[in-house]
Amino acid sequence: MNLIPTAIKGLFIAETDSISDHRGTFSRLFCERDLADAIGSRKIVQVNRSLTFSSGTVRGMHYQNTPHLEMKLVRCMQGRILDIAIDIRAGSPTFLQWHAEELSPENSRMSIIPEGFAHGFQALEGDSELLYLHTNFYKPESECAILYSDPRLAISWPLPTINLTDRDQRCPKLSHDFCGIEV
């Protein structure tokens, strides 16, 4: 695995090498040793899968609040998505900056999103399947979200946004006094 830092400190992209022959391909999807510079001593405690049926669908922008902060490792197993991570760490020099990364099985990339980031994505193809590895257990009482279309963020979604849940449509915009979450 090749670990690529982004312009936002702590946010990484991992590229996976594939071995191909006449039988097919083989890829290591997670290796604690290869990813040590990004994940440190954190442990994966939960693995989730999502399947998004229609292109244009947006899911997010979600995060877990203190004390249940989590790192997410996100990989697209089928289809294609635009993955978005927003820095919402209090005091961060890149506060409210976001990074977009196209993830697909073909590019073998994985987003490594640390604690203190909101996360979401848009399906660029129908039947896009994601695999999520989490360093903390999901706690509904700690889940928060930011409106996907918040003008303060000005996220450039490549397709018209469709199929948002009621919850994602009703997420609040960032208040002018929002100064981030403590990490």
Q: Which of 6, 7, 23, 24 is nearest to 15 (CA)?
A: 6
d(CA 168, CA 62): 9
138 is catalytic: no
Residue 153 DSSP one-character state? T
Of 62, 68, 119, 176, which one is the catalytic site residue? 62
Of 99, 119, 132, 134, which one is the catalytic site residue? 132
Coarse DSSP helix, strand, coil percentages of the chain, rounded to the nearest 5 percent: 5, 40, 50
d(CA 154, CA 71): 24
- The pair of structure tokens assigned to 65 is 């609040």
d(CA 126, CA 113): 24
Q: Which amino acid is at 67?
A: P
63 is catalytic: no
Instruction: Give every CB contact of residue 35 below 8 A, 6+ residues apart in sequence.
Output: 1, 3, 14, 73, 112
Helix (H) or strand (E) holding 1: none
3-state SS, residue 117:
strand
Catalytic site positions: 62, 132
